Structure 1
């Protein structure tokens, strides 16, 4: 049985730092990386009501999509193991590395992996391709890449509704689902999405289509991608390491690390008015550091 309120709310951690004092702002981190020991961050938020919808759908399996190091694939596999749901993943391939830590975990959870070419993978949102998959996996509830759909937004909206008074709310933005969900539940001031990929301006339209009240005050900042999705500079990684040492908050340089680094620069530049309270959403994704170490992109601890 899938229980919607299985996981309690994550803590809100206030930071103390000379930079914040200098600019007269408060910064708190919503520690969604602590939301669930395995399915943490925005992945649990997005999966929560999708699991309810799955239970109501009459389907008996779950099918989703992801790259070889996908946080969503990892979380979906874990959810399948925990709730005893057979899971499948269409994986961007065409060949799978048997030693990839994300894929090894997924397989250990019982997920069946179906590698496809990059050309075929690009069809993952095409109605005709989805219909073919539905015929092939007739027992499966199909979940989009990243888990973003109407059910996912409902879970993220609850996060926004749980927060205390603040003037700015920030999150890392990949597909736009988390930002759209925050807008769905947010009733206060400006919401900032820090785009983690290059040329992310197209996400503005997708976010507007997802979130129901387009007059909400929000901005998508597209100049903090640090080289594009999956890329990061030595400076960004050093910042992540410094931040963890100083504030005891672990970061990875693909999502939350980029978001926090961008916020730090915006604070230095005086973007936020004196007296502002900023809340930053830590969307988890820390399992991704295993993949970065595996590929030699960061050092092993």
Structure 2
């Protein structure tokens, strides 16, 4: 596990843990013959579901926000190559995808036996998968940090923490106060209780999902990290360390969920941790 070295950290130590959380979220969601999920046109969650369907012999359906555009972009083309059936919902209907009315229409079309996985993959089963992450960390630590898009990864990490450790999430959305309620809901659905060992910082969204600023752009270029999720978390950690938010000697594990891939301008709305493999070297 590589350590992030920067003078601003002082006596705070930050260790970088590469972890593609998409397989974790899917691990306990794959016991169905047919799986339907949602995402934007560049959703790596949709891609991950398609790949899992191919590996495990599961029929998969990807419900994509907006209208069809041909030729398919590389993400959707890959999903189709994996055997996924792609369909589309107009944006008004997509905003109502969580309602029973829309779900009933989808089941009528795709079969009563279809399992519906939410956008980003965050549900009780996903939380149980993400809860396995803390036990795999090979270094001593006080805090685990992660970006937060839908809340599932943070909910799971918190549930899997040893006594005395805490989890710190960095919201990548503007106006994300609702995420605390989402984490609580997910923990209740997965375990019937809520942990108090986590918090979400709302101050480093840089204007909102897939938004950036010149300051964040310079940070991304310096550290060569994925910009929608990872850069905001790492910038937040360094800034908080600079401000003295962590006691000297605090050891932080930062979960690196993605690498530079899809240009920010091509991303339309959060679909969970939609990113690829980690990169963090200067």
TM-score, structure 1 as length reference: 0.80
Aligned residue in 2 for 1:189:
165
Once the two structures are TM-superposed, the CA of residue 69 in structure 1 deviates from its matched residue by 1.4
| Structure 1 residues 87 and 104, CA gap change in structure 2 (3 angstroms) | same
Return 203-212 or 93-102, whichever deviates more.
93-102
Once the two structures are TM-superposed, the CA of residue 19 in structure 1 deviates from its matched residue by 2.8
1:49 and 2:28 aligned: yes
Aligned residue in 1 for 2:151:
176
Q: Is the 8 A contact 1:69 1:291 kept in 2?
A: no
Q: Deviations over 1:250-277 (max 9, x none)?
A: x211011211111111111111110100
Give the counterpart of 2:124 among 144, 150, 153: 150
Q: Deviations over 1:88-140 (max 9, x none)?
A: 11110023353422222222222211111111111211123223322321142
Distance 1:142 1:148 in 2: 11
Distance 1:182 1:231 in 2: 26
Aligned residue in 1 for 2:204:
224
1:64-83 correspondence to structure 2 within 5 Å: 64-83=37-56
Distance 1:230 1:293 in 2: 7
Once the two structures are TM-superposed, the CA of residue 292 in structure 1 deviates from its matched residue by 4.1
SS at match of 2:244: coil
Aligned residue in 2 for 1:36:
none
Bigger RCO of structures 1 and 2 (CA < 8 A, at least 6 apart): 2
Distance 1:189 1:208 in 2: 18
Q: What is the root-mean-square deviation of aligned Cα atoms in Å?
A: 2.0
1:240 and 2:215 aligned: no
Aligned residue in 2 for 1:17:
6
Aligned residue in 2 for 1:132:
105
Once the two structures are TM-superposed, the CA of residue 74 in structure 1 deviates from its matched residue by 1.6
Once the two structures are TM-superposed, the CA of residue 16 in structure 1 deviates from its matched residue by 3.1
Runs of 4+ aligned structure 1 residues displaced above 6 Å come to none
Give the counterpart of 1:28 among 15, 19, 35: 15
Give the counterpart of 1:61 among 34, 40, 43: 34
SS at match of 2:246: coil
Aligned residue in 1 for 2:261:
289
The structure whose residues are more often helix, as a share, is 1
Return 253-262 or 101-110, whichever deviates more.
101-110
**Structure 1 alignment gaps of length 5 or more:** 1-11, 33-40, 55-59, 245-250, 296-301
1:277 and 2:251 aligned: yes
